[in-house]
Amino acid sequence: MELEVTDETFEKEVVEKSKEIPVLADFWADWCGPCKVLGPVLEKISKDYEGKIIIAKALTDDNQQQAQKYSVMSIPSVKLFKDGKIVDEFVGAKSENDIKEFLDKNL
């Protein structure tokens, strides 16, 4: 499952929801080249991991409050939330295999 989140919905859709199912938060921007590479990979992974994880996409230009709160210094920045906290993260575009390894070691 993949969903768009905003500063207003982030707490409920990412932090709170991660107490039920892990949530992978993708902080991205329209103008970011690596973000455009990572987006389709995350979309495919969201289908492969259906029922095991939610992917939440936060457009940083429109939602700077959450990006600041979670110390997003560069994008794409991807943070895995479990039990209401960040348990792991990575920055930059990664291959499908790298992301699956990242998820598998954390799920």
Enzyme catalytic residues: 32, 35
List all residues 6 or more positions away from 69 whose beta carbon is below 8 Å from its beta carbon. Answer: none
Side by side, which strands form the sheet with 23-28?
2-5, 54-59, 23-28, 77-82, 85-91
DSSP 105: H
